[in-house]
Amino acid sequence: MLQGLYNGLSGLRTSQLALDVAGANIANVNTKGYQKRIFYSESNPSIVRHNNTLGTGVTDQPIKRAHNEMIFSNLKNSLSQLNSDSAYKNGLSTLNDQLTNSVNSKTDLNSLISNMYSSLEKLSEQPINKSLQIDFKDKLSSVLERKNNLINSLDSSIKEADIKINDTRDNINKKLNEFDSISQSIAEYEAANGPKIKNRYLNEIRDKRDLVEQELSELGSFRVQKTTQGSGKYNVSDEGNKIYSREVYETSGQINGLKEVKSELIKLKKLFENSFSSFENDLNQKYTEFGNNNLIENGRVTEEDLNFSKDLNLSDNTISLNMLELRENPSPEESLKASIFSGFKQADTQYMYSESLFDSYQENMDSVSKVNLDEEMVNILKWQRAYEANAAVIRTMDEILKTTINLKS
């Protein structure tokens, strides 16, 4: 009789705990990093008395998180790649937008070079006209000034990328310290209480640890080697030393994307400088073909008076016509724009692929760890019925016990 009362009490307690777990899941459905809790219970071993088998109630097991380490690892890796591609794409997009906006202005290099050739065309009609010579000189000086501005802009972008890289490294170190602190708390608690301790605090702090792991994976390629002791959990040795290793590599994540942006900017700067150097050399070659000194020296227009008359023939326009042959050559800025646009389109394609892969792994993770409200409502109804049934058992056993006592008295 007392065994029946005990069975009812154990079932009542188990049902109440299961209802608490379902309620906690529903309450945290929108909590960032929360992984749903799973409730387990097991029947106690039966006993045999007078050839009768009697149940001995149920016992609840430690509440576990719905967590799959392999899926979580895949999610982190895809998150690292996504953030790497995102940082690279955004860096090239910003640079592409800057150049696109400048093209619509009167101060972009293409417009300035076009103005220079227009001035040279007028000069070909009046090669000894001083005002036209000064105008051409001013137009060429504007081209050279724009070239310097573009190089300065690329240098500024390179420095800005360096600042972002260093800021990201600082952020990584802060997150690593946070990760170490959380992991040490878990390790010490498990060492003191055993790995199967029934404590909800540990599940909450494990959620925090996983969230920090994801944040570290956004910043870089985060790797952690979990101890072989226990069941893949963090533990401490007898001396209290942490038994796990962790590292962030700069081969993926936001920091890798920023480093790729910096590398691309350096390459683009060199490409532009080489392209513009060819532009200057071509102009100098055409201008000096009939005995003149260089038109451009050390990035500046020569201070000498310009001469566009062959053999001092004041009506000859051979030099200016010779230089106008360069008009159809591609602008140095065109090659820069084409390279940036091509890189941006490739980066955008890679980003969309990484986004699709990440969404797939996120969907897998959600199917395992995310709270399903419909499922939890079913659990509440199920355990509520179980609670009511066990309460009825207790009431019945209580009435039987009272009746028995009254009969004996």
pLDDT, mean of each 10-residue run, the chain (409 residues): 72 88 93 91 74 72 87 94 96 83 68 92 87 92 92 92 94 90 81 64 88 94 62 40 67 94 93 92 89 87 79 70 88 84 91 96 94 93 88 82 75
pLDDT of res. 380: 92
pLDDT of res. 310: 65
pLDDT of res. 106: 66
Block residue for tokens 């590292």:
247
8 A C-beta contact, residue 106 and residue 115: no
Q: Is residue 297 part of a domain?
A: yes
Same domain, 108 and 160: yes
Q: Which residues span the domain enclosing 278? A: 71-363
8 A C-beta contact, residue 261 and residue 325: no
pLDDT of res. 48: 67
Q: Is residue 75 part of a domain?
A: yes
Q: Which residues pair with 242 in a beta bridge?
A: 236
Same domain, 15 and 153: no
Q: Taking the mean position of all CA atoms in its chain, how far away is CA 154?
A: 24
Same domain, 118 and 85: yes
Tokens (6 digits) for 141: 């000086």
Block residue for tokens 């500046």:
300
Backbone φ and ψ for 30, nearest 5 degrees, come out as -110, 10
Write the single-letter amino acid at 169: R
3-class state of residue 244 by DSSP: coil
Block residue for tokens 């081969």:
251
pLDDT of res. 53: 66
CA dist 355 and 350 (Å) reads: 9
Q: Is residue 335 part of a domain?
A: yes
pLDDT of res. 1: 54
pLDDT of res. 71: 94
CA nearest 77: which of 186, 222, 291? Answer: 222
CA dist 237 and 18 (Å) reads: 35
Same domain, 11 and 87: no
Q: Is residue 355 part of a domain?
A: yes
8 A C-beta contact, residue 145 and residue 113: no
Tokens (6 digits) for 200: 């909800």
Q: Is residue 179 part of a domain?
A: yes
Same domain, 245 and 289: yes
Q: What is the DSSP secondary structure assignment for residue 242, as one 8-state letter?
A: B
3-class state of residue 348 by DSSP: helix
Same domain, 181 and 86: yes
Same domain, 252 and 400: no
Same domain, 96 and 33: no
Q: Is residue 274 part of a domain?
A: yes
Element (H or E) spanning 64, and its range?
Answer: strand 64-65
CA nearest 342: which of 352, 331, 334? Answer: 334
Same domain, 247 and 381: no
CA nearest 24: which of 212, 204, 211, 205? Answer: 204
Q: Which of 345, 363, 381 is the last residue of a domain?
A: 363
CA dist 332 and 309 (Å) reads: 28
Q: Is residue 271 part of a domain?
A: yes
State the DSSP string of 210-235. HHHHHHHHHHSEEEEE--SSTTT---
CA dist 268 and 280 (Å) reads: 18
Same domain, 128 and 28: no
Same domain, 226 and 357: yes
Q: How far is CA 321 from CA 125, 277, 317, 325, in A?
A: 9, 21, 6, 7
pTM (two decimals): 0.81
Same domain, 202 and 253: yes
Counted domains in the chain: 2
Q: Is residue 66 part of a domain?
A: no
Block residue for tokens 């301790």:
197
